[in-house]
C-alpha cells in the first residue's frame, strides 16, 4: 500500500511539472505571436491584385524565393500551405495566406488585398463588396444529382 501511494505521488508530481512547463511555453509563444502580429500590421499595404490561381501546395513546389524556403521551420517545409498566384501591377507574384482568407479569395477576379510582405492578411471585393466563402459540398452531396441535370436527362429521354 505504501509503494502505491509513492508511485501515485510521483505520477502526480510529474503531471504537475508537465502542466507548468506547457503553461510557460504557451504564454511565451502567445507573446511572440502578438509581437509578430503587430509587426505584420505595421508593414501592411492595401493593393489591387488580380488573382490568377490559388492552390494548396508545398513551399518548395510553389516557386517561392530560396530565402523564404530557408527561413521556414523544418516541419513546415513538407506541409501543404495555401498559395495564391496573383498579378500586382505588371508583375506576377506568389503569395502565402491564412486558411480563412484562402477560402474567401475568388479566382480570376480583381480584389483589394491587404498584403504584408509575401503574406495576404485580408481580402475585400474591388468596390468594397464583402466576399463570402462558397458553400462547401459535403461528402454525400457529391452523389446527389443536380435538379438541372435530372431535368435535362428527362427531356433527353422524352425526345428519344
At 30 the pLDDT is 95
In the chain, the percentage of residues whose pLDDT exceeds 90 is 31
The residues facing 102 across adjacent strands are none
Give the three cell numbers for residue 62: 510553389
**Phi-psi map region of 139: left, alpha, beta (phi>0 left; psi -120 to 50 alpha):** alpha
Q: What is the mean pLDDT of residues 110-139?
A: 79
The arrangement of secondary structure in 44-125, i.e. its CATH architecture, is Beta Barrel (2.40)
- Indicate whether 153 pLDDT > 90: no
Query: Which residue carries 435538379 as its cell?
Result: 147
pLDDT, position 155: 60
> 106 by DSSP, 3-state: which?
coil
68 or 28, which is more confident:
28
For 20-32, the DSSP string reads HHHHHHHHHHHHH
φ/ψ of residue 94, rounded to 5: -110, 130
pLDDT the model gives residue 53: 92
**76, 113, 136, 108 alpha-carbon torsion, rounded to 10°:** -110
Q: How confident is the model at residue 160 (pLDDT cuts 50, 70, 90)?
A: low
pLDDT score, position 156:
62
Answer yes or no: is pLDDT of 27 > 90. Answer: yes
Give the pLDDT of residue 61: 84
Q: Is 86's pLDDT higher than 80?
A: yes
pLDDT of residue 34: 92
Residue 150, pLDDT above cutoff 60: no
Domain parsing of the chain, residue ranges: 1-43, 44-125
Show the cell assigned to 55: 492552390
Q: Stretch 122-133: mean pLDDT, rounded? A: 73
Q: Where is 66: in which H helix or E strand? A: helix 66-71
Amino acid at each position: 500500500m505504501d509503494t502505491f501511494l509513492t508511485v501515485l505521488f510521483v505520477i502526480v508530481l510529474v503531471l504537475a511539472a508537465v502542466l507548468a512547463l506547457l503553461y510557460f511555453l504557451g504564454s511565451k509563444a502567445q507573446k511572440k505571436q502578438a509581437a509578430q502580429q503587430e509587426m505584420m500590421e505595421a508593414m501592411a499595404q492595401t493593393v489591387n491584385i488580380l488573382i490568377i490561381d490559388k492552390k494548396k501546395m508545398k513551399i518548395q513546389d510553389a516557386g517561392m524565393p530560396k530565402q523564404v524556403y530557408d527561413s521556414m521551420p523544418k516541419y513546415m517545409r513538407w506541409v501543404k500551405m495555401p498559395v495564391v498566384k496573383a498579378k500586382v501591377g505588371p508583375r506576377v507574384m506568389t503569395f502565402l495566406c491564412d486558411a480563412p482568407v484562402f477560402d474567401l479569395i475568388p479566382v480570376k477576379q480583381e480584389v483589394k488585398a491587404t498584403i504584408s510582405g509575401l503574406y495576404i492578411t485580408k481580402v475585400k471585393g474591388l468596390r468594397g463588396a464583402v466576399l463570402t466563402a462558397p458553400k462547401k459540398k459535403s461528402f454525400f452531396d457529391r452523389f446527389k444529382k443536380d435538379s438541372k441535370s435530372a431535368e435535362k436527362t428527362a427531356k433527353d429521354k422524352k425526345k428519344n
